[in-house]
Amino acid sequence: MFVRPCWIPQTEADTRQIIDENPWALLVSNGSQGPLATNIPLLAEQPVSSQEPLVLVGHMAKANEHLLHIRNNSQQPSLAIFEGPWSYVTASWYPNRQMPSTYYYTAIHCYGHLELQQEPELDASLEDLTQRLEAPHTNGWSYREIPRSEITRRFAGITGFRMIVSRTEAKFKLGQDEPIRDALAVADVLATHPAPQDRALAAMIRTQNTDRL
């Protein structure tokens, strides 16, 4: 991924926040006939403060050709792509309208190899996935609300895995290479939009440009 120095996030916590808040990821591996890609949720195993290597946890259907490739090539690197807030930026938002229109966006690329889980590990990771994704919902659903058999019977059709991340690339393209007044003008417009993603992006623009104020 092409990343100018000014687009590197200010802290590792900024990178981790994108992963934690946007777990719907794209997992890509190199198959014998070309790339294999699967959209799945991936959760970070460690807390933000951990000094251990980042580990991502997920699962996919056993019938997926991608999983067969992983079984046979577990030491080959795969790529997990996370996408944070983004927006088209029209040049009409700039004070003097003197810059071309563009996109502001955030993206994280995690490279690493995959380790398949045994059934008890899969069981634990599925419960963790449920708890974490249901937490924001009032009266959210619990893993324990249905008979245990309704959970375990699904194990026959899925396989869990851990991705041991060896390298992470993060790109926060948020106007850091543009005049500061233009970047802040974009933030001001996005902050007025009703979409939570736009308001989140506005806050990130301000944070990532603070060293230029």
CATH topology of domain 5-212: Pnp Oxidase; Chain A (2.30.110)
pLDDT of 75 above 90 = no
Domain map of the chain by residue range? 5-212
Question: Tens digits of per-residue pLDDT, 11-43?
Answer: 999 999 999 999 999 999 998 889 999 999 999
Percentage with pLDDT > 70 across the chain? 100
Per-residue pLDDT, 52: 83
- Contact between 173 and 7 under an 8 Å Cβ cutoff? The reply is yes
Q: What is the pLDDT of residues 145-161, one digit of tens each?
A: 989 889 899 999 999 99
Mean pLDDT across the chain, nearest whole number? 94
pLDDT at 98: 86
